[in-house]
Amino acid sequence: MNLQISGHHIEVTPALREYVENKLDPVVRHFDKVTGVSVVLSVEKLKQKAEVTVHVPGKDMHVEEAGDDLYAAIDAMFDKLDRQVQKYKQKLQDHHRGEKASLHIDE
């Protein structure tokens, strides 16, 4: 998995990098087919913004979150991303299950 963390008008400190990596671990554990992750942390006036793009086979998922605190924005962003990944994984499993069921009916 390729992980890229960058900052826009903000320096990505080792503490921020480690925090993002720790928050990303559960997402990757839920769906092991993640090929790449791009995280952009930025500051726009008084708003702290975090956005992530996750590349999985067949789809790219993008989530943004903004707030007064960068760590809170990162938390909310990864919560949203985790829900998206679980929903996508469930769709894949349901799709394959439906495909197998139709094969058995035709026989």
Domains of the chain: 2-106 (3.30.160.100)
Structure tokens at 78: 């990864």
- What share of the chain in percent tops pLDDT 90? 64
Name the pTM for this structure: 0.82
Query: From the centroid of its chain, how far is CA 76?
Result: 11
DSSP-assigned beta bridge partners for residue 56: 59
For residue range 8-59, list pLDDT tens digits in order: 999 999 999 999 999 999 988 888 888 999 999 999 889 999 999 999 888 9
Give the 3-state secondary structure of the chain.
Answer: CEEEEEEECCCCCHHHHHHHHHHHHHHHHHCCCCCEEEEEEEEECCEEEEEEEEEECCEEEEEEEEECCHHHHHHHHHHHHHHHHHHHHHHHHHHHHHHHHHHHHHC
DSSP-assigned beta bridge partners for residue 2: 36
